[in-house]
Amino acid sequence: MAENKTKPTEVQPADFIGAVENDRRRQDALELMALMAEITGEEARMWGPSIVGFGTYHYKYESGREGDFLQVGFSPRKANMVCYIMLGFSGYRELMDRLGKYKTGKSCLYINKLDDIDRAVLRELIEKSVADLRQKYGL
């Protein structure tokens, strides 16, 4: 069974964010780091070279693959900010309709800048998704 490539590292999230070249992206990352820490009650931790994550959960798929991953996190990429909402977005349609300008992947929320979205709705999305994940996995 293949191991999860994205694992916690010893890199300090503040150092990683401090090295983000784009000023707007760096400021948005600092804001997201504070928001996610407040919501989860967890300290930021780097996962792989570019994801700032909070908390962990253990997953096990029907295929037998299992591992540990972050409960919520983000990555300040050059093209956009990516927020990782691990349960995806299908259960949050009403919130997504009010969020603002974004794109999604399976569990990725792509935002150009935080000013493009409603921060209160983002907070609610993160709060609900973390609570739902914790309930699902008995955390």
User: Is a pLDDT exceeding 90 seen at residue 21?
Assistant: yes
pTM exceeds 0.85: yes
**Number of domains within the chain:** 1
Residues 31-52: pLDDT tens digits?
Answer: 999 999 999 999 999 999 999 9
Domain housing 92: 13-134
User: Has residue 69 been placed in a domain?
Assistant: yes
User: Has residue 126 been placed in a domain?
Assistant: yes
User: Has residue 7 been placed in a domain?
Assistant: no
User: Has residue 8 been placed in a domain?
Assistant: no
**Per-chain mean pLDDT for the chain:** 95
User: Has residue 5 been placed in a domain?
Assistant: no
CB of 99 closer than 8 Å to CB of 54: no
CA angle 61, 67, 70 (to 5 degrees): 110
Cα distance between residue 71 and residue 54, in whole Å: 6
Identify the CATH number of the domain in which residue 100 sits. Answer: 3.90.1150.200
User: Is a pLDDT exceeding 60 seen at residue 1?
Assistant: no
User: Has residue 139 been placed in a domain?
Assistant: no
Using a 10 angstrom Cβ sphere, with 0-12 exposed, 13-18 middle and 19 or more buried, the burial of residue 16 is buried
User: Is a pLDDT exceeding 70 seen at residue 3?
Assistant: no
State the virtual CA torsion across 5, 67, 139, 120 in degrees, nearest 10: 30
Q: What are phi and psi of 57, to 5 degrees?
A: -145, 155
User: Has residue 27 been placed in a domain?
Assistant: yes
User: Has residue 74 been placed in a domain?
Assistant: yes
